[in-house]
Structure 1
């Protein structure tokens, strides 16, 4: 991760940015997140959602701090040095993470280290993977396009860029509060609720906000809060349909499949916008419908795994 950021800070050509930030940075981010979240799950069962949510609040904090570093440091010392400051922070944080991270269970050497697509033969795991795929497919569309939407309607570059910080500000409580509630009311139940609310926010608030800056800021904060569960609770949902010793591998397998959605969702949304001559209405509808599909998928997964009673806590 640190090498990727440093190389990115020296990049001047597109292929250099692609190799350093997209390829090396993307690989590093994935191999940092999945084992860390899985290790947290080793130590908790009843309160796994809350514990994972607390760990994931760091993503919201970083999503606020890092854009602000670039926003305020880049005009004074240049963009490359702003990225190097972030790289220095990553040296400290990642070193501490490597020292503090510890698993409870020994490695299952007999299962190998590759992703296990054969696990999809388990209908409970397979339907959960589909639900996670859809919610991750949806979540990055507003995150990616909210700033460019603001520029499109005439908001200044600085405020448009700050929308990313506002979104992540909402994500800080949105990572751990749903986990706290989910441990009591059911992880799948909360994912149905949060996915549905994100769909309503996208189709009602963002779609109708027009050039109203206050409405757009409200959407960014509220969406940041309600979408936080897509990061913090999805691994916990996977843990409910597999043995703890297989949690890391099942988590990695699911997010390998999910990566296809995150890779294609943003370009598909961009193609929709380009088809509409730069307008955002159909892009927003696309994101909202994906969230509705995710809510339905989690409801179906809940029914398949535990039953269809509305009173079921799962």
Structure 2
């Protein structure tokens, strides 16, 4: 049995039916220009630390939306449906992803400070507004709009700065920085569960705001650029690239896994509380899931470089579907099963953040990656916009006892992961054929 190794970038001009592969993508990137990258040293790694500090608040808040949703549904917004509350967090996610598509070219054209500093100020302001908000529109404007846009202004430049300092070790450096979102997703839910009862929810959120302010100040002090500005930079969305079948299939798969990821991330704490789990442990489910996802962003990535990035995405999306339908769906009041789901799902879903962009790069020319990445995540932003409200609408179907019925929501999550798995298989097959191949 011959096992072909096709783990490098596949250029659109090649005839993929032969199963041929192109050369080392790192060599190709070295030929893109005359830039010399430090690829290490205290200054370069201090930029990674600065990026990490920027991602703790910006992506950490995204990983805390399950706790936010559960609290608001029982307190300030208890008269609103879960679907209506879901729009608050879907809109936040939309601005985070869609805003990043717009912020990237602005960073290339105008540099770091005009984006990072206002973004940090806006992010802290959004948390302070969140802490005093009582009405629906206040959460929508203060957190969803201001917080989402500000987070994209913090997150996107912090990632882009790493690319200014690293080439050969870029994936490692970016992966290290990306663990910050999981760390924030561990710290923030624990703070809320421990401080909300003693100090009150407003002061719990303000404490998160103060911690975020400290991390933002560190990011401003540490982040630096080194590549000249490109004032001719344009927007990075090209819908015409979707005419390429394997790219359109991959984009659809990524949209679906981000859609499905938000459902447990948002509704697992509420599900646990509705089935008898105590508030503290239910809120800490988000921390458990995020802690597991940190490992899930590193370990599958290690094997992806050896077994193939697309292959790992197929495996992880399939396993996410299985644990959702076979473990979460029948768990009911079984707290051990709910905890096991949080751990397993957190681990296997981590590739949605770490490997999905790598798959886009693998079937793109280096010079086209920015455009194709922007196109993909422009569509992902639409998926994240509708995911939580759709899941919330399914909760309107109640049991005979009057409790929310999570069955439809869980089945939707599992089926969407299954569809994503099929699309990854199809995109891989169109790229390198249907045999056993490292791709």
Conserved 8 A contact 1:138-1:265: yes
* 1-structure distance, mates of 2:265, 2:209: 23
The aligned counterpart of 1:210 is 332
The aligned counterpart of 2:11 is none
1:158 Cα shift? Answer: 1.7
The aligned counterpart of 1:172 is 294
Matches within 5 A, 1:295-314: 295-311=421-437, 313-314=438-439
Conserved 8 A contact 2:238-2:371: yes
* 2-structure distance, mates of 1:102, 1:244: 24
* 2-structure distance, mates of 1:118, 1:99: 40
Does the C-alpha gap of structure 1 residues 109 and 181 become closer, same or farther in structure 2, counting only changes over 3 Å?
farther
The aligned counterpart of 1:253 is 375
1:292 equivalent among 394, 418, 439? 418
1:191 Cα shift? Answer: 0.9
Give yes or no for the alignment of 1:183 onto 2:305: yes
Conserved 8 A contact 2:245-2:427: no
Spell out, residue by residue over 1:35-66, the C-alpha distance to the aligned partner (whole angstroms, 9 max, x if none).
44455466667766554433221111110101
Give yes or no for the alignment of 1:95 onto 2:217: yes
Does the C-alpha gap of structure 1 residues 309 and 134 become closer, same or farther in structure 2, counting only changes over 3 Å?
same
Spell out, residue by residue over 1:235-289, the C-alpha distance to the aligned partner (whole angstroms, 9 max, x if none).
2222223344444443333222111111112211222221344211221111001
CA RMSD of aligned residues (A): 2.4
Spell out, residue by residue over 1:137-180, the C-alpha distance to the aligned partner (whole angstroms, 9 max, x if none).
11111111111111121212222111111111111111111112
The aligned counterpart of 2:364 is 242
- Taking structure 2 as the reference length, the TM-score comes to 0.66
Equivalent pairs, count: 313
* 2-structure distance, mates of 1:124, 1:112: 25
Does the C-alpha gap of structure 1 residues 14 and 21 become closer, same or farther in structure 2, counting only changes over 3 Å?
same
The aligned counterpart of 2:268 is 146
Conserved 8 A contact 1:9-1:81: yes
Conserved 8 A contact 1:50-1:183: no
Spell out, residue by residue over 1:2-40, the C-alpha distance to the aligned partner (whole angstroms, 9 max, x if none).
121122222222211111111111222334334444554
* 2-structure distance, mates of 1:270, 1:44: 42
* 1-structure distance, mates of 2:365, 2:164: 10
The aligned counterpart of 2:7 is none
1:205 Cα shift? Answer: 0.8
Conserved 8 A contact 1:4-1:21: yes
Matches within 5 A, 1:66-145: 66-101=188-223, 109-113=231-235, 115-145=237-267
* 2-structure distance, mates of 1:61, 1:82: 17
Spell out, residue by residue over 1:201-227, the C-alpha distance to the aligned partner (whole angstroms, 9 max, x if none).
001011121211011001011101111
2:183 equivalent among 20, 45, 61? 61
Does the C-alpha gap of structure 1 residues 105 and 308 become closer, same or farther in structure 2, counting only changes over 3 Å?
farther
- Which is richer in helix? 1
Q: Secondary structure at the match of 1:76?
A: coil
* 2-structure distance, mates of 1:296, 1:43: 37
Does the C-alpha gap of structure 1 residues 127 and 282 become closer, same or farther in structure 2, counting only changes over 3 Å?
same
Conserved 8 A contact 2:252-2:423: yes
Conserved 8 A contact 2:192-2:204: yes
1:155 equivalent among 264, 277, 290? 277
Q: Max radius of gyration: which structure? A: 2
Give yes or no for the alignment of 1:6 onto 2:132: no
Stretch moving more, 97-106 or 259-268: 97-106
Q: Secondary structure at the match of 1:209?
A: coil
Does the C-alpha gap of structure 1 residues 105 and 294 become closer, same or farther in structure 2, counting only changes over 3 Å?
farther
The aligned counterpart of 2:152 is 30
* 2-structure distance, mates of 1:292, 1:167: 21
1:186 Cα shift? Answer: 1.6
Mind listing any 5+ residue stretches in structure 2 that lack a counterpart? 1-122
Mind listing any 5+ residue stretches in structure 1 that lack a counterpart? none
Conserved 8 A contact 1:52-1:233: no
Spell out, residue by residue over 1:89-148, the C-alpha distance to the aligned partner (whole angstroms, 9 max, x if none).
222323333444456765655450353333333444322211111111111111111111
Does the C-alpha gap of structure 1 residues 36 and 29 become closer, same or farther in structure 2, counting only changes over 3 Å?
same
